[in-house]
Amino acid sequence: MDDNAERPKSLKFKEPVIDVAFSPTSDLVASSLITGHVFIHQYSLTGNTRQHRLKPHRKSCRSLCFAGDGLSLYTASKDKSWQSLDITTGAELTRVEEAHDKAINIVKYVNEQIIATGDESGGLKLWDIRQNNKPAFTFKEHVDYISDMVFNSDKRHLLATSGDGCMSIYDVRKSKPFHVSENQDDELLSVAIMRGGKKVIVGETDGVLGIFTYGQFDDVTDRFPGHPQSIDSICKLTEDLCVTGSSDGLLRIVQLFPHKLVGVAGDHKSLPVEKVVLSYDQQWLASCSHDHTVHFWDIGYIFNDGASDEDEDADVNGDEKLDAQAMAIQVSKGIVDDEPEIDIDGLSDGSELRVRGDPESGIDSSDDEVDIVDSDSDSGESDGSDDGDNLTKHIDPVSANAKEEPTDANDNEEASDSDGWGSWGDSDDEGNDTAAKRRKPKPTKAEKLKAKRAALAELVNPDKKKRASGASFFADL
């Protein structure tokens, strides 16, 4: 497949990108910069087009989000103000100065009537859009910055995490908090609602996913280690799958119940991931880091039955390395009991998830495929032309390696593959012709990768594609 047509080109800026958001209704993506600029681009496989370049804030624009209808964009800043912008014209619709006593860290669209803002001292306010500049409710349940928020529309609950180690829950119709959790002895950085509203997961600075049972908010009921560094962002994919953005630069696909590190969706080359979001059509992830770039990653294969043979062939080479990497991190965190004999460039103790380059070398952007955008001045701005090679291919889901079992001469099934995805090559033929089965050609790497992709798709849509009896890929997960 043509690399230039694989995914939208990355967006490169001259200043650090703090936040990124997809439109819920169209192919638009908004980026906020440390300079206070806001950019809105239309993305596509054939090239990105800048729609607006705005400077709504005097200081850094720390957070932004689209309204539910996709017609307006909300922004919040270190200058203590928040405002809404018209997507079509870029005109200012609403502006609230001195909205908080401290700098605002996050703005969250709740519904067509309410938005929420949280500041760096723990203050949280709910704003009735119909009342313009007046907050409906003001809360001060935290003593440190508000890091993330998520809204449960079924229960009208707004959940907020904080650097003080607590999570607070608010009924947006009432002036008092619904509940505040106990301190988790670690900063809570991100939050998402999973499992049909039954579970709430929070990302912590020590790389652990804390899991609350909904309604039991005093303390977590489960914990899932597996990230070597802090979990700064969580993006929900399905009720059982999410993508985490970590300080080590990796975007990991995580499965819950049972808890597994399924694979790696993207890599920011060891730089901390600030935000990861999913497009409205469930085809792309967008993420931003300290490399001044918004990257796009293909995630559509999770929601589809399979991918083309060309995609499979292109990703085979990195498959075995990722299997070893996934096993290394799980062994180091005690997720699996037995450690296979692997050596990741000399790091056989599994202390690093992936092989890192020279830390002094910085980012090698010679192969990056980006659109250069001038965030400082109107002069020398990019016209969105498509220059350069594609940044990198998406990395498909992988699973931890399993030890290879010896073949039993009396068994009609072949030994499981060492990649831990079960006996995907088992035959359904009856009889005792064991020798003939052993002579069956070993599946190629591309066929294995195709099986893994199909397995992940089966997890997401179990009723969409029925598998043959005894051929479940997730029996060994």
- Tell me which residue has tokens 């608010």: 170
* Per-residue pLDDT, 455: 65
CA 116 to chain centre: 22
pLDDT tens over the chain, length 477 residues: 333 448 999 999 999 999 999 999 999 999 999 999 999 999 999 999 999 999 999 999 999 999 999 999 999 999 999 999 999 999 999 999 999 999 999 999 999 999 999 999 999 999 998 876 789 999 999 999 999 999 999 999 999 999 999 999 999 999 999 999 999 999 999 999 999 999 999 999 999 999 999 999 999 999 999 899 999 999 999 999 999 999 999 999 999 999 999 999 999 998 999 999 999 999 999 999 999 999 999 999 898 854 444 444 444 444 454 455 555 555 555 555 444 433 333 333 333 333 333 444 444 443 444 455 554 444 334 433 344 344 333 434 433 343 344 444 344 433 333 333 333 333 334 444 444 444 556 677 667 667 766 666 665 565 554 444 334 333 333
Q: What angle do CA 135, 138, 141 make, to 5 degrees?
A: 160
* Per-residue pLDDT, 444: 72
Beta bridge partners of 161: 148, 167
Q: pTM of this prediction?
A: 0.69
* Per-residue pLDDT, 411: 42
DSSP letter at 397 equals: B
Amino acid identity at 269: K
Give me the sheet containing 49-54, strands edge to edge: 17-22, 28-33, 38-42, 49-54
One DSSP character per residue, 260-318 reads EEEEEEEE-TTSPEEEEEE-TTSSEEEEEETTSEEEEEE-GGGTSS---HHHHHHHSTT
| Cβ atoms < 10 Å from Cβ of 395 | 21
* Per-residue pLDDT, 339: 41
Torsion angle defined by CA atoms of residues 18, 255, 326 and 270, in that order, rounded to the nearest 10 degrees: 0
DSSP letter at 320 equals: H
Beta bridge partners of 28: 42
Contact yes or no for 204/247 (Cβ under 8 A):
no
What the block records as the tokens of 337 is: 């009991």
Distance CA 353, CA 342 (A): 12
- The H-or-E segment that residue 18 falls in is strand 17-22
Nearest to 315 by CA among 53, 10, 70, 6: 6
- The H-or-E segment that residue 319 falls in is helix 319-332
* Per-residue pLDDT, 401: 40
* Per-residue pLDDT, 160: 97
Residue 441 burial (10 A CB sphere; 0-12, 13-18, 19+): exposed
| Cβ atoms < 10 Å from Cβ of 91 | 11
Distance CA 200, CA 220 (A): 9
Amino acid identity at 299: I
